[in-house]
Structure 1
């Protein structure tokens, strides 16, 4: 079926959104949201209706829902203020109000008669073998074990990432396909990768089975498939076997010794690692309660294994959003604990990229130890150059250090590794700050607007939008941006800007303050 509205066409059979002859780039969940709203345009659909249809009833934060609606509106030239096509009815729900015409999708014969225009990926394939690891199905009887299947995928992705000759898509982008039946060829086009790994996990008592299949995303051919059974205590060995088999299928000439060296058993204590996986699952939800629960779980993992470096790194990282979102109760005590955990992480995790990169970010953000932090971050990225989240954090650190060109380079790497990242606002925020520091105020404003569109609650991007417009001579937009910033944080003043983000050079915070003062920020 094709739905036609204004200059747009939504093709549900080919899962494509067109504006005229141009094919628009949308993530799978945004496409599903548009499809659901248009198909149900005769009625108001509730938030619960949407969550059931798009997320299969899983818990979804209001911020995540807002992000998808902003992206859907942006894809069809609408906005939250205009609501020309997608209307929000307070306390009731949402409705697609545009005039829609339906027509059948072109038949196979009609498509065959049409001129052949091979669809090109919006992003070029990397110059080395590229792979995305899709979420594994949880085949266990207990749906609460979903975190376990996700943790297995996290570890396999990380293991593959350590092969420098591989290009591995970040988990955040791969997991946008979670809970959905997908077309592997389409996944390959959307993520611009050659290979896709999918599979399943079944945990029953003390036994576990991991099954996987490697698919050529260009042809759809199955290159390899196998399953690995064993005791739960052998989980890391099973993951290593699967990883080795995948690598061997992609590059048969690879020496087994190289594969063996890439293996890294994080801990002998499976209970500790189980808590670590549970904590990782909670970090996907950017709410105060989820953050507190993640921190508790990481602390429990540390209690069970005081040398688990990755748990120290993630526990330290939990304090960063607590500071940024004003969730800290005792700021001095919590800041000191975050720095302690970060130093412990980089000390224990000399070869652990998660420990190094998360610890480094906290040392920069909370301790302002920029030089040491950059050294630790660079070491972590040298070990695992496929860690998209670390490239994002590194971009922010380069902003704070006053290196805008490096910040832009690192942000670009993050976007390429995670092109469908649900937290793209964080990357665009770093890009906006980098352009602001370089004096490119129009580009800073544009990137900040992208970040705001993806996450309307992102205070830093809203501030940079206001400041860059003020210094660029667009006072009306600057005042509008500042008004939004003060809705997010009514206590915002020129005198407390340093609480938002650290800058190594005083001139940079002074420039931000100058722009916001011109936009109307009080002292």
Structure 2
């Protein structure tokens, strides 16, 4: 049995050889297809090696993401919990692997001392030194969502932000801790020393105020300025899970600040990014820099934390149950919504006094109410009761406010929805949830330019991944209301690319095609909608449209167009049946 199975596209063989040689130089055995002996059956030998390998290294490139072989190998490795992916060229990874932690080795050319390579090698060694038989079976990013049961509460991975938590409680679960080290100044300017200190101090305050993480104080971390740092010792001394570090350097007329997030337990680099700014008036740009950093770092922290929590065998705390509930909602189907409700109920059971758990349950019930045609008044009543209770517990919490804004929208309580969305955004302007809530509320008010500005902010923070679908839904509505039909079609198409059977995408795009006069394409989408949701009636779809965030005049036009398409599709079906019967008679 080889330590490593190397998965790559044949056009990347030269790069793959670089990795194979480096692994072997590090004392690890590697199986890749050049090791096949004459007469061996490719499929059989490859599959055996894949399933027996302790670590499966997948090299993502613009070519391998299109390879069904590489995708299949990555899927099996993910299922077996042996997947260790690396990006060797910039590319859009398959959507099911967007949330899988992936090393960025696009710069690597074989340097064994490279810190990113060393961190990647450490992770590969960790898997290679373990027997895969000892690992419990885990969820896969490509498997369907399972309904709740007494035996399992498994999910694949997660793309939506976790809610912030109050002080730790046994039933709520332990929050992870972040420490932000003083950034180093690699320029010769004393003024830049003041700038990096101010940046770190403001970052510490901003991150602690926006996400559900404990953040060590600025003074606690300031003691390490200028010192040789052992990150793992800091982790032991302060019970830290993640360390953020960075540096500033001047490059001609601009300043570059590089930040990276490190796993404090093993030193592995989890994320790194460069931020460039003009070299003058940096203090005037400080607030802008803090906002930009906070948005990106918050998204990355949440992505990593949620990915880890969801891959756990079962939720051990309200915190984990909430994360699973949020992931389930990204799947946009009725089964996953029921699964989200089950996890939200579990969170409330474990932490009945935690307002975010209560508001999350209200939101899940509200989403189910709209998804099932906005006709079950008892369901809406339950959603509003949980929402009201959460607001009474902590009506100033930005997550509670943003979730309550959505439930009020499902109840057609537009003024309350807007007020809560504005309050949430004022409290936490860099939160993904508050940005989306306000974008949706603005769309209903026909404040389309403001809605689009919010959506653009969200897309800059979350350029890819399943959570993007929430922004695309609102974007599609806003563009439709503005009469920008071609762009609205593009947004709906992006939704369907992320989730091909997305309910909203399959309802919106045919109407948009019809508005543009593309009736054949519209009827094709209606046929696909009926195929994906054969038990849903015209009445249910119309109720969903009439309770959407579109302005009244826009959704009335939408409903009329959808009805016309439905009738035409029914007529086509009858004509085809008649023709089929005539052919049989002949």
- 2:175 aligns with 152
* Displacement of 1:472: 0.8
Distance (Å, rounded) in 2 between the aligned partners of 1:199 and 1:507: 60
Structure-2 change in CA distance of 1:457 and 1:38 (3 Å): closer
Structure-2 change in CA distance of 1:56 and 1:294 (3 Å): farther
The answer as to 2:372 corresponding to 1:342 is no
The answer as to 2:427 corresponding to 1:383 is yes
- 1:323 aligns with 369
* Displacement of 1:483: 1.5
- 1:447 aligns with 491
Structure-2 change in CA distance of 1:169 and 1:40 (3 Å): farther
* Displacement of 1:368: 1.0
Q: Give CA deviations for 1:308-328 in whole Å, capped at 9, x if unaligned.
A: 322222121111332344399
Is the CA contact 2:322–2:344 (under 8 Å) kept in the aligned structure 1?
yes
Is the CA contact 1:316–1:338 (under 8 Å) kept in the aligned structure 2?
yes
Q: What TM-score, normalized to structure 2?
A: 0.49
The answer as to 2:403 corresponding to 1:358 is yes
Q: Give CA deviations for 1:411-457 in whole Å, capped at 9, x if unaligned.
A: 11221222234221221121111111111111111110011101112
The answer as to 2:357 corresponding to 1:311 is yes
The answer as to 2:339 corresponding to 1:290 is yes
- 1:133 aligns with none
Match of 1:52 among 59, 77, 80: 80
The Cα RMSD (Å) is 5.5
Is the CA contact 1:279–1:298 (under 8 Å) kept in the aligned structure 2?
yes
Is the CA contact 2:173–2:317 (under 8 Å) kept in the aligned structure 1?
no
Is the CA contact 1:162–1:385 (under 8 Å) kept in the aligned structure 2?
no
Distance (Å, rounded) in 2 between the aligned partners of 1:40 and 1:484: 28
Runs (5+) with no aligned partner, structure 2: 1-6, 20-56, 86-92, 100-106, 112-125, 127-133, 139-156, 163-169, 181-199, 213-230, 248-255, 266-285, 291-315, 571-586
Where do residues 251-262 of structure 1 align in structure 2 (5 Å cutoff)? none
Distance (Å, rounded) in 2 between the aligned partners of 1:199 and 1:402: 52
- 1:242 aligns with none
Where do residues 199-218 of structure 1 align in structure 2 (5 Å cutoff)? 209-216=239-246
Is the CA contact 1:70–1:454 (under 8 Å) kept in the aligned structure 2?
no
The answer as to 2:551 corresponding to 1:502 is no
Residues matched between the structures, number: 362
Distance (Å, rounded) in 1 between the aligned partners of 2:64 and 2:468: 22
Q: Whose Rg is larger?
A: 2
Q: Secondary structure of the equivalent of 1:213?
A: strand
**Bigger shift: residues 32-41 or 452-461:** 32-41
* Displacement of 1:513: 1.8
Where do residues 470-489 of structure 1 align in structure 2 (5 Å cutoff)? 470-489=514-533
The answer as to 2:436 corresponding to 1:413 is no
Distance (Å, rounded) in 2 between the aligned partners of 1:161 and 1:372: 36
Where do residues 220-231 of structure 1 align in structure 2 (5 Å cutoff)? none
Distance (Å, rounded) in 2 between the aligned partners of 1:29 and 1:434: 39
Q: Secondary structure of the equivalent of 1:484?
A: helix
* Displacement of 1:371: 0.9
Distance (Å, rounded) in 1 between the aligned partners of 2:501 and 2:210: 24
The answer as to 2:416 corresponding to 1:372 is yes
Q: Give CA deviations for 1:198-235 in whole Å, capped at 9, x if unaligned.
A: 999999xxx993343222276768899989xxxxxxxx
* Displacement of 1:301: 4.1
Is the CA contact 1:364–1:370 (under 8 Å) kept in the aligned structure 2?
yes
Q: What TM-score, normalized to structure 1?
A: 0.55
* Displacement of 1:107: 5.9
Where do residues 216-255 of structure 1 align in structure 2 (5 Å cutoff)? 216=246
Q: Secondary structure of the equivalent of 2:239?
A: strand
Distance (Å, rounded) in 2 between the aligned partners of 1:225 and 1:55: 18
Is the CA contact 1:294–1:318 (under 8 Å) kept in the aligned structure 2?
no
Q: Secondary structure of the equivalent of 1:368?
A: coil
Is the CA contact 1:316–1:341 (under 8 Å) kept in the aligned structure 2?
yes
Distance (Å, rounded) in 2 between the aligned partners of 1:371 and 1:45: 51
* Displacement of 1:504: 6.6
